[in-house]
Amino acid sequence: MLTKRLLLLPIFAVFLSALFSSCAEGEKVVIPKISEGVIHFELSYPYYEDAFMASIMPDEMEMTFKNNVYRNHVSKGGLFSSTVIADCNNETLILILDLGPKRIYCALDKSLSSTMLKNYPTPDILQVAEFDSIAGAFCEKKNAIFDYLADGYDVELYETFDVDIKNSNWCNQYSEIDGVLLGYEIKQFGIQARMIATKMDTVAVNDSIFNVPQGFKEVTLERMLFEMDEISKSFSY
């Protein structure tokens, strides 16, 4: 009996070492980031009092990304579309607006982008020890506190590092956030929209999608902001 036990010891030791090595190797496993694809967002307007007007506003956004460049595209029933193309490598921004007969765009460098961002409040970011899964991605929850929210309400942010876009928030109000936001809110021209990612497609992306389409006229930032403000007013009546 003692001989059998002694013979079993090496087998048991090998089994244990296999378990420990598997755990150790498991800790070193790095989940590959998604380098290109399309993220689908649901848009809602939680503070919009006119339910009918909210129903005719855009309710979806597509974020297409590749090589540290992304394109956010919003449209509604062929009436209009709005596109933002952000190059996170060179910190340049392109704003595109399609109003049917009026098709315009403006290109911004980092300086002009900073000028535009001065029109929007910058929140304080608070760490929250909570995590969630958004569109299948692991997200860390954070809260953004804005001064204009007098009741102390905080905006819930969901940050992920599963998407391979570095410096993705350099051109928005959440530049303090390092990862990619899959849940957030943006207030522009008096309208606050909530974006929540619903689906992520890992697909090949054609580089041409990050170019300004033909037939669009370049305008100044001031002109672009004026036109966007006019659109927001049309949803306020």
Domains and CATH numbers, the chain: 38-234 (2.50.20)
Question: In which order are the strands placed within the sheet that holds 80-87?
Answer: 124-134, 137-145, 154-160, 180-188, 191-201, 36-44, 60-66, 69-76, 80-87, 92-99, 102-108, 217-218
Phi/psi of residue 89, each to 5°?
A: -80, -50
Of the candidates 113, 86, 94, 71, the one whose C-alpha atom is nearest the C-alpha of residue 205 is: 71
Could you tell me which residues are beta bridge partners of residue 138? 133
Structure tokens at 98: 């399609």
Pairing type for strands 217-218 and 102-108 reads parallel
- In order along its 237 residues, the chain shows pLDDT tens digits of 434 443 333 333 333 333 333 334 455 556 788 999 999 999 998 877 766 666 778 889 999 999 999 999 998 777 788 999 999 999 999 999 998 888 999 999 999 999 888 878 888 899 888 999 999 999 999 999 887 655 556 899 999 999 999 999 999 999 999 999 999 998 776 678 899 999 999 999 999 999 999 999 999 999 998 888 887 766 654
Rounded to 10 degrees, the C-alpha dihedral 17/22/27/32 comes to 160
CA dist 114 and 102 (Å) reads 26
